[in-house]
A and B are shown apart, each in its own frame.
Chain A
Amino acid sequence: MEWILGRKHGGKRAFTKGDRCVECHGEETETIGQLIVSGESEKELEPNLIPGKRGSIPVTINATHDDEYLYLRFNWADGDHAPVPFVEGGKMDPENPMKLAFMVATDEVEYADRAGCWGTCHADADEMPFAPENQALKDSELAARLDLSAGVTKYLTESRTKIELKGRRGKALGGWDKLKSEGDLTAAMAANQYMDLVRYKSGADEVEDGQIMAERTMHGGQGAEVEASLKAGTWSVVVKRKLKSDQPGDVSIEPGKLYNFGFAIHDDFTNGRYHHVSLGYKLALDDDQAEINAVKQ
């Protein structure tokens, strides 16, 4: 978010006005992705290059529902293995050749309507440029309230009292240590200010359900069923998730409403921030306005 709202982003003013990322970048993700992985962007977007890494992945999504469940099928071509030069063995997460995650949120979440998952990503998250030192995390009194064992995870703007965007006088970008009070966080959750998150790990064949608010929490939701396969070089991941849920941190999907949807793929044994992430899309039931329109069958 610090990038999107920062001075180097030519679309900052458009975004602030209300334009969605996909309006400008929907047709150029391949170009931008290549600029990032090749290190050719003049904006110096990626310091840790992985030779041979693909900058983008074309993904096809089919969506349907039967009034009780939402079914999503993601298809994409598996890529060649590109060993990571700064990890021993070249694989960041040798157990999992692929992980897929998606988020769903209502418009109650600031920026979710425009940015999707990107609204949860901050410059001080783990492995990001302004990630705090481990010692700073251990010494922080927030260690009692947040799980900082794997560094700072994703969080929403609503969970912080301030987020540094300009970095004046050397200030670190982000706001991991500006956590709001428990009362404010509880109120934000009650106001649907969270992003529902489902993640699938291919190696362990494990599905996790959680949400992002003050941090990424990988438990608490109703869960989902996932079937994944890699056949003839094509990944196919089918997700079956109940439309309605009474679990905290879950978003119930109802007809007649547009939901904010984004997804991410950790391909080729990657981990942490080294994933491909989609722009923010709209998900709906039987509504042509949505990019991902789940048509009843």
Chain B
Amino acid sequence: MAQAMSAHLALVRVDYGYKYIKQIWFLVPPPCAGRNRCRCIGIFVVGIIFWGGFNTAMEATNSTEFCIGCHEMENNVYQEYKPTIHYSNRTGVRAGCPDCHVPRPWIHKVVRKIKASRELFYWATGKIDTPEKFEEHRLDLAKSVWSAMKTTDSRECRNCHNFESMNPEFQKPRARKQHMNSFETGQTCIDCHKGIAHHNVRDQLTDEELEAIEAPDPKYVREIPKEYLEGLARVEAKEAAMAAEAKAKMKRPLSVLLLR
């Protein structure tokens, strides 16, 4: 097998005029014998160290503690996030900074980290190092996150939330209705769920920006999950039975009024 590969490489070299180019041995390893075997092992070990080191370093930057190591984050967005349900809730599941702001798929994570290196420059130059400066740039920061979420069909929301395990039996009628609409028209999480972990600056968007960022995208039209439909049927049957029972007793008001 190894001989056959060498022959093939030789042919390729002749065909493309790379007569004097040495075989790229680390891409197509020759048989490991003697020095070559040692080389292979060395590369393997170095690879592990490099790969492990790289990932360890990357993961070290992938924690809430790391994010709030900068006072810009700790004093602003972190304080806003602490009273929200993503920080503290009845189930004890916490979504930290990277859960919402860093992709989980490796390649997307690396791309995000490379892009985030810009933030080091802004940190060094003190772009948002006072509350006033942070507020000045808050809308741009938010728009950047919203735009990324919109582009990826709210991928980071779906790290934890997914429609298959979303049960409308535990949702208010308004949420049920809105989620059904989102399936049918192609809305994504961030279209409606802005400002849920930090101060909401949606109001500062222009009408055009708002329309663009919240418009349904046909790409995101999705089939209504079977589990969702089953849950919907259960809750509607339950409510219909309750309404019928109350109506029979003539105790349930047919309508409730709002003050305007």
Q: Which A positions have Cβ atoms within 8 angstroms of B?
A: 7-8, 10-11, 13-14, 17, 19, 23-30, 32-33, 36-37, 46, 53-61, 76, 121, 166, 168, 263-265, 273-279, 281, 291-292
Contact = CB atoms under 8 A, between A and B. Distances in A.
A278 B181 contact: no
Given A11-B178, A14-B181, A19-B177, A121 B172 contact: no
Interface centre among B178, B210, B252, B259 (most CB of A within 10 A): B259
A166 B256 CA distance: 30
Interface string B174-191: 100110010001000000
Given A7-B210, A32-B258, A276-B259, A59 B173 contact: no
Given A8-B203, A168-B207, A29 B256 contact: yes
Given A24-B173, A30-B256, 20 more contacts: A7-B207, A13-B181, A14-B177, A14-B178, A14-B181, A28-B174, A33-B259, A37-B259, A55-B258, A57-B257, A59-B253, A60-B250, A61-B255, A76-B253, A274-B259, A276-B260, A277-B260, A278-B258, A279-B255, A279-B258
Interface in B187-205: 192, 203
A273 B172 contact: no
B174 A25 contact: yes
B178 A24 contact: yes
Contacts of B257: 29, 33, 56-57, 59, 264-265, 276-278
A59 B255 contact: yes
B27 interface: no
A28 B173 contact: yes
Nearest to B214: A13
27 contacts: A7-B210, A8-B203, A10-B178, A11-B174, A19-B177, A24-B173, A28-B173, A30-B256, A32-B258, A33-B258, A36-B260, A46-B259, A53-B259, A55-B259, A56-B256, A57-B257, A58-B256, A59-B253, A60-B250, A60-B254, A61-B255, A276-B259, A277-B258, A279-B255, A281-B254, A291-B255, A292-B254
B173 A27 contact: yes
Nearest to B207: A166
A32 B257 CA distance: 10
Contact of A56 (B172, B174, B214, B259): B259
A59 to B, nearest CB: 5
A215 B214 CA distance: 35
A24 B254 contact: no
A148 to B, nearest CB: 21
A26 B258 contact: no
Contacts of B253: 58-60, 76
Interface residue tally on B, bucketed by range = 20 to 34
Nearest to A57: B257
Interface of B: 172-174, 177-178, 181, 185, 192, 203, 207, 210, 214, 216, 250, 252-260
Contacts of A275: 259-260
Nearest to A22: B255
Contacts of A25: 174
B256 A23 contact: no
Contacts of B174: 11, 24-25, 28
B236 to A, nearest CB: 12
Nearest to B174: A24
B161 to A, nearest CB: 18
Nearest to B181: A14
Nearest to A264: B257
B185 A17 contact: yes
Contacts of A168: 207
Contacts of A263: 255
A29 B253 CA distance: 12
Contact of B254 (A33, A36, A46, A291): A291
A36 B259 contact: yes
B178 to A, nearest CB: 6
A220 B256 CA distance: 30
A162 B260 CA distance: 24
A121 B207 contact: no
A239 B181 CA distance: 39
B178 A59 contact: no
Contacts of A56: 256-259
B260 A273 contact: yes
Given A10-B192, A166-B207, A29 B258 contact: yes
Given A24-B174, A28-B173, A60-B250, A36 B258 contact: yes
A76 B250 CA distance: 13
A293 B173 CA distance: 23
Nearest to A32: B258
Contacts of A291: 254-255
A176 B259 CA distance: 23
A28 B173 CA distance: 9
Nearest to B239: A27
